Structure 1
Amino acid sequence: MTSLIPNVFNVEDNQINHQYYSNVNYIKNNSTSSTSASSLLSKINKHALTITNSKFIHHNKTLETTIECVGSPYNQSCLYHNLYYVDSTFMILTVKGRDLPSYSVRIGAFILWPTTPHKRIFDSYSHLEKFVRNVIDPRIIPSVTLYFSQYWHDNIGHALFDGLYPAYVALTRFSPRHLHPFRILAGINNCNACWSEDIYSRFGGLGILKQSVLNKMSKGYWFMFEELVMGSGT
């Protein structure tokens, strides 16, 4: 099945694939331990196939935003299908009269105020579809994206247990998505020496996209997440 919009956005600089090719080049250039190198290359190839050949690539049949939420208001987690992003803002596109659940969530352990995507309502689905196809022409960010924010990711304890862990628990609520590679959209500050970013990228399998980078790209341009999970699961 093909996506309704052919304009698919591929997140570049996937740290997993970058590390994979770096290791392969190192092995090929190292002639002192061919046996161990061959074994390591086999393991790397197996690991890479696990990441890149995932069959869990969802292509939505509609362009309208749909939402599933679970949990209490304090630790609610939501799965958004076709969640749009423009000018640093999440945007729900829906049709008049559509019944949506309460979709405000907390995106970090120390963020007490909720994040609530903006909403744009259309008179009919045909109006919504024309708007998406002919007006905004969004770039699609495929597969599953897990979104969270972390202020102190330079500290590995905060990075893992206040950032990644609550978000991953939220992802497990929408099984089996946590068993397949996913992308991380991280609301984090710039930190050249923070190796927690590499951990985030490797853990998800599809790399990391910093929200600050997406904010710059979204100035006047629309993006659409095929599936995005956000909200604290703890």
Structure 2
Amino acid sequence: MTSLIPNVFNVEDNQINHQHYSNVNYIKNNSTSSTSASSLLSKINKHALTITNSKFIHHNKTLETTIECVGSLYNQSCLYHNLYYVDSTFMILTVKGRDLPSYSVRIGAFILWPTTPHKRVFDSYSHLEKFVRNVIDPRIIPSVTLHFSQYWHDNIGHALFDGLYPAYVALTRFSPRHLHPFRILAGINNCNACWSEDIYSRFGGLGILKQSVLNKMSKGYWFMFEELVMGSGTLCQRCTQPNLQLPGGVELDGSRLFRDRIYQQHGLIHPIIRQKSSSEGRTSHD
């Protein structure tokens, strides 16, 4: 598991400055934690953006979870602000009387059941804020995180078009986040030689965090995603369309955006767009 740790919070200095996260603070480890948990958290803190002993500072104006969802219930993607994570579970913190949209989503092509974060309701925002600041002291995961689950990611075909592509199309629904660096939270199996994980990391720009690693870190510890997008289960290559196109490939321009992002993140020159079909006497310069 040690080899997975360096990818956590992997943000280049110029990306930190661009995203204005250079002053994000992380909380001091709980001295009463077990030896194994302390060791794991110390490894994470080693690669965190900034470490201080002060209370956390984050850039959202509220500590309450807010949610935006797009698409039909069958094909829904959601953007969560201030989504919490503890003991391997997503957690919504909200105030009594708050009206939330339906927020269940499918996170993978082969995950046939929806993912529904748990919810904790407080009598007032003041109670919620005290709980966050004085009780749970969450470690902040800054910027945008894109979450999906993926089987067989050792096969690049599955990795790209049953995992990465549908997740990216979900992200395009919350423009312009798909144009900026983001982190990937991947529900994938352990694989010592899966170069597709490097593709994931390069594609997002802010590294990859395996959900299995986060699950171990979250035992008794709270985390807070400043922004997390998930909901890509019916946008996969296997999700057949009447027009035989990739889901979202035409109506959301997903195919072009995905292709351009692949080229950009791997430092490749974009191909020349041809203006003529072969039947029109197209040459190599067209």
Instruction: Tell me how far apart the structure 1 counterparts of residues 68 and 170 of structure 2 sit (CA, whole Å).
Output: 12
SS of aligned partner of 1:6: helix
Cα pair 1:167 1:233 within 8 Å, conserved? no
Structure 1 outlier segments of 4+, above 6 Å: 1-58
Measured on the aligned residues, the alpha-carbon RMSD in Å equals 13.5
Checking the alignment, whether the CA contact within 8 Å between 1:186 and 1:211 is kept in structure 2 is: yes
Q: Deviations over 1:99-121 (max 9, x none)?
A: 00000000011211100000000
Partner SS for 1:10 = coil
Give the C-alpha shift of residue 27 in structure 1.
38
For the 8 Å contact 1:156–1:196, the answer to whether it is kept is: yes
Shifted more, 20-29 versus 156-165: the winner is 20-29
Q: Which moved more, 1:37-46 or 1:119-128?
A: 37-46
- Which segment is superposed worse, 72-81 or 57-66? 57-66
Structure 1 residue runs of 5 or longer lacking an equivalent are: none
CA deviations on 1:163-195 (whole Å, 9 max, x unpaired) are 001110000000000000000000001001100
1:75-124 C-alpha deviation (Å, 9 max, x unpaired): 10000000000000000000000000000000011211100000000000
Structure 1 contact 152–158 (Cα < 8 Å) conserved: yes
Q: Deviations over 1:178-234 (max 9, x none)?
A: 00000000000100110010000000000000000000000000000000000x999
Q: Report the CA distance shift for 1:216/1:172 in structure 2 as closer, same or farther (over 3 A).
A: same
The structure-2 alpha-carbon separation of the partners of 1:68 and 1:58, relative to structure 1 and needing over 3 Å to count, comes to: farther
Shift of 1:151: 1.4
More strand as a share of residues: 1
Judge conservation of contact 2:83–2:91 (CA < 8 Å) in 1: yes
Contact 1:95 1:122 in 2 (8 A): yes
SS in structure 2 of the partner of residue 3 of structure 1: helix
From the superposition, tell whether residues 42 and 126 of structure 1 become closer, same or farther in structure 2 (CA, over 3 Å).
Answer: closer
Deviation readout 1:128-158 (Å, 9 max, x if unpaired): 0000000000000000000000011011111
| Offset of residue 11 of structure 1 | 7.3
Tell me which structure has the larger Cα radius of gyration.
2
The change in CA–CA distance for 1:127 and 1:12 in structure 2 (over 3 A counts) is: farther
Unaligned runs of 5+ in 2: 231-283
TM-score (norm 2): 0.62
The alignment of Structure 1 onto Structure 2 pairs a total of residues equal to 233
C-alpha distance in structure 2 between counterparts of 1:54 and 1:114, whole Å: 38
SS in 2 for 1:4: helix
Deviates more, 1:134-143 or 1:45-54: 45-54
Alignment CA distance shift 1:21-1:219 (3 Å): closer
Task: Tell me by how many angstroms 1:28 deviates.
Answer: 38
With over 3 angstroms needed to count, the CA separation of the structure-2 counterparts of 1:156 and 1:110, relative to structure 1, is same
Q: Say whether the 8 Å CA contact 1:170–1:233 is kept in structure 2.
A: no
- Taking a change above 3 Å as real, the CA distance of residues 24 and 35 of structure 1, as seen in their structure-2 partners, is farther
Contact 1:16 1:206 in 2 (8 A): no
Is 1:4–1:61's contact at 8 Å kept on the other side of the alignment? no
Distance 1:136-1:14 versus aligned 2 partners, 3 A rule:
farther
TM-aligned CA distance change 1:52 to 1:143, over 3 Å? farther
**CA drift at 1:74:** 1.4
User: In structure 1, how many angstroms separate the alpha carbons of the residues matched to 2:197 and 2:121?
Assistant: 37
Percent identical among aligned pairs is: 97
Q: Looking at both structures, which has the greater relative contact order when contacts are Cα pairs under 8 Å and sequence separation is at least 6?
A: 1
